[in-house]
Amino acid sequence: MNLYAIKAIYLFEMARTWRTLMQSIVSPVLSTSLYFVVFGAAIGSRIAEIDGVSYGAFIVPGLVMLSLLTQSIANASFGIYFPKFVGTIYELLSAPISPLEIVLGYVGAAATKSVILGLIILATAGLFVPLRIAHPFWMIAFLVLTATTFSLFGFIIGIWADGFEKLQVIPLLVITPLTFLGGSFYSVSMLPPFWQTVTMFNPVVYLMSGFRWSFYDIADVGVGVSLAMTLAFLASCLGIVWWIFRTGYRLKA
C-alpha cells in the first residue's frame, strides 16, 4: 500500500476545500440555515409535532442528509473529472499507484469534507432548534457510510461525465428530487397507503429513515433494513469502480 500516494492525493483535494471555502462550506451552511428559518420557524410553528418531535427538529436529519448527498457527489465527481479535463489523469494512471490507492485518496477526501460539512450543519441546527441524539454512535456511522457511499457514486459520475454539464445532470435531476421525496420534510407514514408503497422504491428513504432513527428513535422502516440498503448501495458502487479500472472505461480512451 502506497500510503505516500494516498496522502498526497488526499491532502491535495482537502487543500482545494480551503481555496474554495465559500463554495464548499459557507454556501451550503447558509442555504441550510434558510431552510431552518423558512420551514422550521415560519412553517414549522403551524405544524403539529410528528411522533412527539417538533417539526423544526424533525427536519434536521433530512437537511443534513440533503447537504451530505449533494456535496459528497459534487466533491468526488469534480475531484476526478478535473484531472481528466486537463489531462493529468494520464500521469496519475502511469504512476506507481494502484486503483485502490487512487480511490482511497479521492473518495476519502470527498467523504471527509462531507462529514465535516454535516457536523457543521448539525451545530448550526442547534442554534435554531433543540436537538437530541439518541444513538450518537449510529448517527456517526450513518453519516460516514452515507458520505463514503455517495462519494463513490460521485467518483463514478466524474469518470462517466465528458463535460461539466453532465456533472450536474444526475445530482440535479435524480438525487435532489429523490432526497426531497424521500422523507426529508415529512414522515412516510403521513402519505396515503398507495404513495407509501411507491415511496418504498426510493432508496433515499432507507438512508433518511436510519439517520433520523439515530436522532429520535423513530423510523419509517426498520433500522436493520436501512443499514442493509446502505451497505448494498456501497457494495454496488465498489463493484462499478472495480469494473471501471479493470476495463479502463473512459480513463484510457
Is 227 contained in some domain? yes
Greater model confidence, 18 or 200: 200
Is 45 contained in some domain? yes
Question: Distance (Å, rounded) from C-alpha 65 to C-alpha 61?
Answer: 6
Residues with Cβ within 8 Å of residue 3, at least 6 apart in sequence:
none
Is 253 contained in some domain? no
- Over residues 192-200, mean pLDDT: 88
Q: What is the tally of structural domains in the chain?
A: 1
Question: Distance (Å, rounded) from C-alpha 146 to C-alpha 185?
Answer: 19
Greater model confidence, 64 or 35: 64
Does the pLDDT at position 126 exceed 90? no
Domain that holds residue 229: 3-247
Q: Provide the grid cell at 202.
A: 426510493
- Over residues 72-76, mean pLDDT: 91
* DSSP reduced 3-state for 215: helix
Is 125 contained in some domain? yes
Is 38 contained in some domain? yes
- Over residues 226-248, mean pLDDT: 92
Greater model confidence, 48 or 201: 201
Is 252 contained in some domain? no
Is 133 contained in some domain? yes
Is 212 contained in some domain? yes
pLDDT grade for 146, boundaries at 50, 70 and 90: very high
Q: What is the pLDDT of residue 26?
A: 78
